[in-house]
Chains A and B, each alone.
Chain A
């Protein structure tokens, strides 16, 4: 990848500066958000509903546009250049609250679709990797089933494996456990913990305090389209500095 040299020197994986976004209906969803994510870092974003968490992380892979500020991902500046957006999407994986598996494809085909189409890799080679990934998230025996035949927790693990099959440098998670039954939350969090231990760069929107405490390098609290507080998990949960943070924590703890 060739980017302008002065940008390429930035060591950060994600560098967001003064990002502002208005939805087409005029709603001001992001009001100057800054965030830096280093390589290998795990950043957890928390905040009340409607505070702009999803909107924010969806700007990282251009699922949402923004109007002001700048975002660079792995040295590539996000602007209107469509080729750059494609390049960034190849390097950024995303896991959704609703899994969004492709219901008409088998589990294995869900994994191999993008690497074959986008990375132009051979099907056989991708198949091996896909099986290894399913092994890693613990559902190799479901490889030939269809998404509709799996439990929510299994589906979300397939979704993670599907993202990994593109060999991304960053993984974005938007409330990956929020639509799961409580007994399935752990199996998904364990997979995510394993990824963090392997050094994957991750930005995770979640309200799982246990996960944030154990895995996150930093916790960011968003409210009303702004970053209110940014701190290590210990500081954030034990000595929150801002009134908004205390208020939020009192609601979820």
Chain B
């Protein structure tokens, strides 16, 4: 990859108006985009009726989660904001392998901060949220940025082990989060059938992401194993799952898990769906990891083995770190489609984000407001996916070992 070409008026002209035909295409496209954009903006600001979102904001966020326990969700969001700030700041405080630290608050981060602040100052009011909720939004944004600043400032004082174990914060937070959401350990139980909206979507997606990652790695290793049973088992599993549409697996899972597991053991519908998503995602992840494994030269394993490392040691220290780094973009792509696939849960009757939206639109009070609802949904999903993508790109750049060519 060469250096980024700088955008100047001259270079723009060369790019966009190289030939008369190019010029025509540029003019048509720009006009089209401008017209469509201004129409959309006009609709969103003047014509759309956002009351449907305002009236149902809690429903979209958490479904029918009992109001007296919602403080637990706020606490969880605060923890998540702190963890996000921590990861962000520590990533920033570590130099890229071949470059010294440039700035505590580089341009990209200033932009991201600006967007967050803008969002906090405009969105809660525009959405017509109550004052307590507005102020919580502000506090959460403040917390995120504060932790980001602290971690960026002092993150480089963390030892190497502390930095390397930092990603473990997330699975740990998942466990804490599940207790906060579902209860237990002294907290009142809130059954899964009372979760809904964005909460349910994120619970399902993060469960499947966290569990399918190790499962996918094991399947990929199994597929390349020299033990025939393991190899064939993995191949059959992967190809079976990849050959079936997710929606059929979800329907199948609702029924099959019921009579495969002895009575009472079968998880309820929400967890059944989460397991199906996990098994589904693992098969695709296995293929991503397998392509990563295939890209690591044979000599790496041979060198590791000839130094006396056992096979598990060689895989863990030498082969997998390289393979996973190669597989990272494909893996995150898979996570992003997994997040979007959770919308299929609405078809098996779960009140995830889309399911909630459908139930709201079915309410005669909000008839004809589907554009507003779908646009909100699209923006919400877009934000989640953008966050995943941004995080993975930052990680990718730091994992890439430097070389002469760069």
Residues of A within 8 A of B (CB): 61, 63, 86, 89-90, 92-94, 96, 98, 100-105, 113-114, 117-119, 145-151, 159, 162-163, 166
Whether A102 touches B403, Cβ cut-off 8 Å, given contacts A86-B308, A118-B309, is: no
Please report the C-alpha to C-alpha distance between residue A149 and residue B321 in the assembled complex, in whole angstroms.
19
Contact at B404–A114, with CB atoms within 8 Å?
Answer: no
What residues on B are CB-neighbors of A101 within 8 Å?
Answer: 303
**Closest Cβ neighbor of B298 among chain A residues:** A100
Residue of A nearest to B306 (CB): A94
A179 to chain B, nearest CB (A): 11
CB of B299 within 8 A of chain A?
yes
B322 x A104 contact (CB < 8 A): yes
* Given known A-B contacts A100-B299, A100-B303, A146 and B308 have beta carbons under 8 A apart: no
Partner of A100, one of B300, B402, B403: B300
Assess whether B13 is interfacial by the CB under 8 Å rule. Answer: no
Per-residue contact bits, chain B 260-295, to A (CB 8 Å; 1 contact, 0 not):
000000000000000000000000000000000000
**Does B109 lie at the interface of the complex (its beta carbon under 8 Å from any beta carbon of A)?**
no
Instruction: Please tell me if the beta carbons of B401 and A146 are within 8 angstroms of each other in the complex.
Output: yes
Look across to chain A and name the residue whose beta carbon is closest to the beta carbon of B325. Answer: A104
Cα of A150 to Cα of B98 in the assembled complex, Å? 13
Interface residue tally for chain B (C-beta within 8 Å): 26
Q: Is the CB of A96 within 8 A of B299?
A: yes
B379-406 vs A, CB cutoff 8 Å, 1 = contact: the mask equals 0000000000000000000010111110
User: In the bound complex, do residue B307 and residue A104 qualify as a contact, i.e. CB atoms below 8 Å apart?
Assistant: no
Chain A: minimal CB distance from B280 (Å): 30
Residues of A within 8 A of B189 (CB): none
B26 at the interface (CB under 8 A from A): no
B310 contacts the other chain (Cβ, under 8 Å)?
A: yes
Is B305 on the interface with A (CB-CB < 8 A)? yes
Whether A149 pairs with B404 at a CB distance below 8 angstroms is: yes
Known pairs A93-B306, A163-B307; A148 contacts B404 (CB<8 A): yes
Q: How far apart sit A62 and B121, CA to CA, in the bound complex (Å)?
A: 66
Inter-chain contacts of B190 with A (CB < 8 A): none
Whether A118 contacts B308 by the Cβ 8 Å rule is yes
Does B313 lie at the interface of the complex (its beta carbon under 8 Å from any beta carbon of A)?
Answer: yes
State whether A96 and B302 are in contact (beta carbons under 8 Å apart), knowing that A104-B321, A166-B307 are contacts in the complex: yes
Q: In whole angstroms, what is the CA distance A100 to B297 when docked?
A: 9
| Distance (whole angstroms) from the CB of B153 to the closest CB of chain A | 24
Task: Check A100–B302 contact: CB distance below 8 A.
Answer: yes
The answer, yes or no, to whether B318 is at the interface (CB within 8 Å) is yes
CB atoms of B308 and A102 under 8 A apart:
no
| CB of A40 to closest CB in B, whole Å | 21
Cross-chain contact A63 with B302 (CB below 8 angstroms): yes
Are A166's CB and B302's CB within 8 A?
Answer: no
Complex partner residue of B306 from A92, A146, A147, A149, CB under 8 angstroms: A92
User: Is there contact, CB below 8 Å, between B322 and A118?
Assistant: no
Question: Are A162 and B307 in touch, CB under 8 angstroms?
Answer: yes
CB neighbours (8 Å) of A148 from chain B are: 401-405
Complex CA–CA separation, A229 to B302 (angstroms): 30
B308 touches which one: A96, A114, A145, A149 (CB < 8 A)? Answer: A114
